[in-house]
Amino acid sequence: MKRSLIKLAAATVSALSFCDTASAEWSKTYVVEWNEPAMYYGAKAGVIDPGTDCPKGSNPEVDWVSVLSKGGYTEAEAKWLRNPANPSRSAVHGQNQMAFRGADKANVYIHPETTPDPGLVGVSGDIAEGINLDGDASTGFVSPNGEKGIDNTFYKTLGCWKTYRGPPRLSSGSLTMNDAMREGSWTIVVVVSGKGSDPMNDSNVDVGFYMSGDKLVKDGNGQIAHDYTFSIKPDAKFEALFKGKSSNGVITSKTAADEVWLRDPSYTRELQLLRARVSLQMLPDGSLKGYVGGYRPWKPIYQGWVDARGPVIEALTWVQLPSVYYALKRTADYSPTGAGGEKTHISFAERIEAVPAFVMTPDASKPATTVKSYKSLVKPEAAAPATRFGVIDGLVPDPKVPFGEALRVYPVPETVASATPARAGGGN
C-alpha cells in the first residue's frame, strides 16, 4: 500500500512537472514512421542467416508431425492433421487441433505448463541495441557503438525467433506491423522541447509521445510524407513523457519515468514500460531516431501471440508457443515490488524513427510546443474489441469442428492411414 502511494505521488509530481506553466525556448515535433523492438542482427546478409547473435541462424522450422506425435497423436493422425486436404485445417486460421497436445490433450496455448518446455534458443552474442536501464555498466550487453550496460533481456530471450530477427526494418514481424501503422491503423506523434538556446546541447529537454487521430500520409515514393499536420488525441493510456537533456543532438533521460505507455507495434498492442528512459538523436535532416526503453510485463507478450491465433503463429513463425512462455518466465529480470519480488517484467527497448511533422494541440488551435499531459482531456469512447477474429483460447472457432474434435469429425482416411510409412526423418 505504502509503495503504491509513493508511486502515485511520484506520478503526480511527474505530471505536474509537465504542466504548461511556461513556454519552451525551442521545440521540434515529429511523427513516428517506423517502430520495432530493438533487435541487433549479427549476420552479414539475409534475415535468418547464422551470425554472432544466433550462431545457428534463426530458430529452425518446427517438425509438427514430430511435435504432435509427442503430444499423443499417432503419426498417421499427425500427418492427416497437417494435410492441406483435411477440411479441419483452415487456410486462414490454421489447424486448431494443434493446440491440444498438452497432458490429457490440454490446450497448450492457455495451459503451456501442461507440456514440457520445448526450449527456445536465445541470443548468445554480446551486442545489443537499447538503453542502460539500471545504470550498471557491468551488466547487460554492449551496444554496437561500444556503450556498456545495455539492458535488453527481451532481445536476449526472443532475438533468434524468426518473427523478430533481421536487419532493421526487415524482420517479418516489424514489416507486418509497420505496414499496418503506415496504412493508417494508428499514429504516434512526438513533441520535443527545451529551455536552452541550443537544442543540440540543452540540460532541460522534455520529450512526449502521444497518439493522434490523424492518419499517416504517404508521399509519391510510398514513404511517410514529411511536414504533415497531426493533432494530439488525448488517450487515457497511451502517453509517454520524459525529462532529459541533449548533448550533441542526443537526448537522454535524466531520470527514469516511473511508468509510460506506448502503442506497441505488435499483437500485444499495449506497451507498458516501467523505469522508462529515452535515447533519441535529432538528426541533421530533421528526423529523430533512437530508442525508448524500460521494463515491460512479459505475460502480455505471450498472450498477444496466443490471441493472434496460436496455430497460425506457430506455423508461420516457426515456434512452439509454450517455449516462448517458458523462456520469458525464466528470463524476466525485473520486479516492480523490489528485488525479492516476482519478476513480472523484462528489460526491453523499442527502436523509433520519426520524421518532421507539425503537431497541434488536441483542439488544433495552436502548435504543441511544450510537453505536458493531456490525459485530463480524454473523452470516453467505446471499448475496442478484445481480440481480432473472435479468438477464444488462442483459436478461431470452426462451427463444423468443435475445439479438440478434429479427428472425430474428420477421421484419418484409409488412404492416409495405409500410406504412412515408418518415419525416416523430419518434415512437417
**Interface residues toward other proteins, by CB under 8 A:** 45-49, 58, 61, 79, 82-85, 91-92, 162, 169-170, 172, 175-176, 179-180, 183-185, 215, 218-222, 315-318, 427-428
CB of 75 or CB of 113, closer to other proteins: 75
C-alpha closest to that of 64 among 79, 48, 86, 76: 79
Beta pairing partners, 37: 350
What's the count of helices (H) and strands (E) in the chain, helices before strands? 10, 15
**Pairing of the two strands 26-37 and 187-194:** antiparallel
CB closer to other proteins out of 126 and 179: 179
- The DSSP H or E segment spanning 77 is helix 75-82
Phi, psi (5° rounding) for residue 369? -110, -5
Q: How does DSSP assign 272-312, residue by residue? A: EEEEEEEEEEE-TTS-EEEEEEEEEESHHHHHHHHHTTHHH
**Shortest distance, position 106 Cβ to other proteins, whole Å:** 25
Closest separation between CB of residue 368 and other proteins, Å? 22
Q: For the chain, how are helix, strand and coil distributed in percent, rounded to 5?
A: 25, 25, 50
Cell readout for 163 is 518473427
CA atoms within 13 A on the CB side of 259: 16
Closest contact distance (angstroms) between CB of 34 and other proteins is 12
Q: Kindly state the smallest distance separating residue 361's Cβ from other proteins, in Å.
A: 21
Which grid cell sits at 373?
499531459
SS3 assignment, position 63: coil
CB of 60 to other proteins, least distance (A): 11
What is the three-state SS of 401-417? ECCCCHHHHCCCCHHHH
Spatial contact of 366 and 198, defined as CB atoms under 8 Å apart: no
| 230: Cβ contacts below 8 Å, ≥ 6 apart | 31, 187, 189, 212, 214, 357, 358, 359, 360
- Say if strands 202-212 and 187-194 run parallel, antiparallel, or are unpaired: antiparallel
Minimum distance from CB of 80 to other proteins (Å)?
A: 10
Query: Sign (positive/negative) of CA torsion 294, 155, 143, 36?
Result: negative
Instruction: Supply the minimum distance, in Å, between the C-beta of residue 404 and other proteins.
Output: 21
| Residue with Cβ nearer other proteins (235 or 258) | 235
E strand segments, 15-102: 26-37, 89-90, 94-95
419 three-state secondary structure: helix
